[in-house]
Amino acid sequence: MKEMVVEMLASRGVRLEQIARIVVELQKPYRPDLTVDECLRSVEKVMEKREVQHAVLTGIALDMLAESGALPEPLLTLVRNDDPLYGIDEILALSITNIYGTVGLTNFGYVDKRKMGVLRGLNSHSSKRVNTFLDDLVAGIAGAAAARIAHRSEAAG
C-alpha cells in the first residue's frame, strides 16, 4: 500500500524528496550535518506506518471528491474553500504527527504556519486543484519525520 500512497502523492505534485527538504530545514539548527538522504529515509519510515497511509488516502480522496463536486453541501464548499474554521484537515494530519509525540505536533504547527517548501505551492489556491487536506498531510509527514530524527538523535546522545 505504501507504493500506492507515494504514487498518489506524486500524482498530486508531491514527491517524498520535497517533504525531506522540509525536514532538513526543520532539523538543520539541531543537526547541521543532516543530509537530504537521511531525511528522506525518515520520511520513508513514516510512510510505512499504516495509519499514515490511511490518513493520506482519506485526505487525498476528499480533495479529489471536492474537485469533482462530489461532496454534499455544505461540506463541498468548506473543503473547496479550505475554510479556516473547518479544521478537520488539520485533525487528520495530527493523526500522523502523534506517531512521534509532541515534537511532531510542534513541528507540524511550525511547518503549517510557515508554508515551507512544496507547501507554498499547495496552499496557493491558484489552480483548480483542491489541496485542503494535502497541504496539512504533507506538513504532518514532515513534522513526524523531523520528530523521528529528533528522537533518534536524543537516543544516540
Mean pLDDT score, 73-81: 96
Q: Where are the beta strands (DSSP E) in the chain?
A: none
Mean pLDDT of the chain: 94
Q: How far apart are CA 77 and CA 127, in angstroms?
A: 16
Q: How far apart are CA 110 and CA 121, in angstroms?
A: 17
Q: 2-156: which CATH number, 1.10.3760.10, 2.40.160.10, 3.40.50.12280, 1.10.3720.10?
A: 1.10.3760.10
- Please state the φ and ψ torsions of residue 43, each to the nearest 5 degrees: -60, -45
Q: What pTM was estimated for this model as a whole?
A: 0.95
Q: How far apart are CA 97 and CA 74, in angstroms?
A: 28
pLDDT at 38: 97
Q: Do 138 and 70 meet the contact criterion of CB atoms below 8 Å apart? A: no
